[in-house]
């Protein structure tokens, strides 16, 4: 007798790809591993699947906990279809209340809208038996007795089916309907990402290389989202013909990212400037995700954190377009002498060192425009009068000692100058106020 569950209320996403026989030493398809990493953007619970009879491989993912993040099951399914088409145009996506059911729908190309729990019994009854991964002997037996759809098998006594088949169709039918548990071997993601994508043919074109890079970035983003981590440094390696050295390309971000959409734009900028010694045959991406990463909560109104994110994104784009050495940032240094209180560093995505620390607020005014070298005040025409000061700065005893009394000077035209007097009585101009 058939056993329909009262509530098959799960939510499973299945993606099936044609079996291209790309198998590594562990006996698993390389395409399926990359697909599992990509699918972790929807759920960390991903299981690899293989349909021996139809020659399909792919994944199923338990997405009940992330449906609300995409606006519902249909929106999640549409997002998966739009995203996976770049990996394989003939990929099939399906959604159902059970893992085995979703996988069967994807393998037999029965992909429409997401099948809700209330609709699942009727849809399962119409499912062709060819979607079930059973031995050929069992399929021949079902065909011989006139069975074509799963619903016809569900109406038969389960014990008689099991005795006549080499497999256990009753267990498979119960897992399809949700009446029996469906234990899965979950995909265990690697601690660090390191994968290579082969191009269909060697090429010089940046667009073809970028297409391959986007595929690897989508896998890395899935790994980051599924594991709750972020990335700040990536390394691309472009492989050439045998005997030629590979071409490396490193990307350093100013801020850890989990959404790698901006990285695609950075890669495009860098590829436009990169000189390749020979055509590219393969693209390799290596990255070690950060363990400690706290995502920023979205705010209704842009705040300082949002402004900092935009600033870091601008720096990344400028460095990608102009080069790492062309973009520099200012950092405060631990020194009271104005000319040594700051330093220019390369904006290469590294955090400030321990030596570069912010100073406490100073008591005196500071101009934004410092002269390259202090100039004698006598060389600057004007009737200068003291407006504020003095402020004693005495430092650098270990190297180029300085003892100065700083004043804010003002002339009749309203100009304001920052000048200091030495112990010997000499006056020198050091900066201008706006």
Q: Which residues pair with 198 in a beta bridge?
A: 282
Two tokens, residue 341: 């209180």
What is the CATH T-level fold of the domain 193-295+304-320, as seen in this structure? Dna Ligase; domain 1 (3.30.1490)
Nearest to 39 by CA among 22, 68, 62: 62
Two tokens, residue 289: 């995700």
Yes or no: say if 263 and 257 are a contact pair by the CB < 8 Å rule. yes
Mean residue pLDDT of the chain comes to 84
Q: Dihedral angle at the C-alpha atoms of 153, 156, 157, 160, nearest 10 degrees?
A: -70
Say what the pLDDT of residue 299 is: 64
- Would you place residue 297 in the very low, low, confident or very high pLDDT band (cuts 50, 70, 90)? low
Sequence spans of domains, the chain: 12-177, 193-295+304-320, 369-432
Q: Which residues pair with 64 in a beta bridge?
A: none
Express each pLDDT in 211-246 by its tens digit.
999 999 999 999 999 998 999 899 999 999 988 999
Say what the pLDDT of residue 6 is: 40
Radius of gyration for the alpha carbons in the chain, expressed in angstroms and rounded: 33
Can you point out the beta strands (E) in 86-137? 92-96
- Would you place residue 22 in the very low, low, confident or very high pLDDT band (cuts 50, 70, 90)? very low
pTM exceeds cut of 0.75? no
Say what the pLDDT of residue 42 is: 95
Q: Is 188 exposed, middle or buried (0-12, 13-18, 19+ CB in 10 A)?
A: exposed
Distance CA 95, CA 62 (A): 10
Q: Which of 30-34, 285-289, 311-315, 388-392 has the lowest mean pLDDT?
A: 311-315
Q: Among residues of the chain, what percentage have pLDDT more than 70?
A: 87
CB neighbour list of residue 371: distance below 8 Å, 6 or more residues apart: 429, 430, 431, 432
Helix axes 99-107, 169-177, angle to 10 degrees: 100
Which helix (H) or strand (E) element contains residue 304?
Answer: helix 304-322
* Alpha helices by DSSP H, 340-425: none
Distance CA 308, CA 356 (A): 19
Higher per-residue pLDDT: 362 or 111: 111
Q: Which of 285-294, 380-389, 425-434 has the lowest mean pLDDT?
A: 285-294
Q: With H, G, I as helix, E, B as strand and everything else as coil, classify residue 26.
A: coil
Nearest to 35 by CA among 51, 47, 53, 52: 47
- Would you place residue 1 in the very low, low, confident or very high pLDDT band (cuts 50, 70, 90)? very low
Rounded average pLDDT over 91-115: 89
Asked if pLDDT for residue 328 goes beyond 80, the answer is no
Q: Among residues of the chain, what percentage have pLDDT more than 90?
A: 40
- Would you place residue 306 in the very low, low, confident or very high pLDDT band (cuts 50, 70, 90)? low
Say what the pLDDT of residue 303 is: 64
Two tokens, residue 322: 């102009």
Which of 46-76 are b and which e, b meaning 16 or more Cβ less than 10 Å from the residue's Cβ?
bbbbbbeebebbbbbbbbeebbeebeebeeb
- Would you place residue 355 in the very low, low, confident or very high pLDDT band (cuts 50, 70, 90)? very low
Say what the pLDDT of residue 353 is: 47
Which range among 138-147, 199-208, 347-356 has the greatest average pLDDT?
A: 199-208
């Amino acid at each position: 007798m058939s056993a329909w569950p009262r509530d098959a209320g799960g939510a499973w996403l299945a993606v099936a790809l044609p079996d291209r026989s790309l198998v590594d030493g562990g006996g698993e398809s390389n395409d399926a591993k990359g697909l599992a990493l990509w699918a972790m953007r929807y759920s960390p619970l991903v299981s690899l699947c293989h349909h021996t009879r139809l020659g399909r491989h792919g994944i199923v993912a338990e997405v009940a906990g992330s449906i609300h993040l995409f606006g519902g099951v249909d929106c999640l399914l549409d997002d998966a279809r739009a995203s996976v088409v770049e990996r394989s145009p003939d990929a099939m996506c399906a959604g159902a209340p059970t893992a085995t059911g979703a996988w069967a729908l994807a393998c037999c190309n029965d992909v429409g809208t997401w099948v809700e729990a209330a609709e699942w019994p009727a849809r399962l009854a119409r499912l062709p038996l060819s979607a079930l991964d059973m031995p050929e002997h069992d399929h021949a037996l079902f065909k011989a007795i006139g069975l074509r759809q799963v619903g016809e098998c569900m109406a038969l006594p389960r014990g008689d089916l099991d005795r006549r088949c080499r497999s256990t169709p009753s267990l498979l039918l119960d897992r399809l309907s949700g009446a029996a548990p469906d234990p899965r071997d979950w995909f265990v993601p690697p601690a660090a990402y390191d994968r290579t994508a082969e191009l269909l043919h060697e090429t010089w074109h940046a667009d073809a290389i970028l297409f391959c890079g986007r595929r690897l970035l989508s896998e890395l983003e899935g790994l980051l989202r599924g594991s709750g981590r972020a990335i700040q440094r990536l390394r691309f390696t472009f492989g050439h013909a045998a005997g030629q050295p590979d071409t490396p390309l490193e990307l350093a971000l100013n801020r850890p990212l989990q959404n790698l959409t901006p990285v695609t734009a950075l890669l495009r900028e860098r590829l436009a400037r990169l000189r390749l010694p020979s055509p590219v045959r393969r693209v390799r991406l290596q990255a070690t995700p950060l363990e400690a990463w706290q995502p920023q909560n979205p705010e209704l109104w842009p705040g300082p954190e949002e402004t900092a994110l935009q600033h870091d994104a601008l720096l990344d784009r400028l460095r990608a377009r102009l080069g790492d050495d062309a973009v520099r940032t200012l950092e405060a240094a631990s020194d009271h002498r104005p000319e040594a209180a700051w330093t220019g560093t390369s904006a290469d995505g590294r955090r400030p060192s321990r030596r570069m620390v912010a100073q406490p607020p100073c008591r005196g005014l500071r101009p934004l425009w410092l002269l390259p070298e202090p100039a004698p005040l006598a060389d600057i025409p004007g009737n200068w009068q003291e407006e504020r000061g003095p402020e004693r700065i005495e430092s650098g005893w270990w190297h180029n000692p300085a003892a100065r009394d700083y004043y804010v000077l003002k002339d009749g035209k309203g100009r304001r100058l920052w000048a200091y007097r030495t112990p010997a009585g000499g006056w020198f101009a050091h900066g201008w106020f706006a």
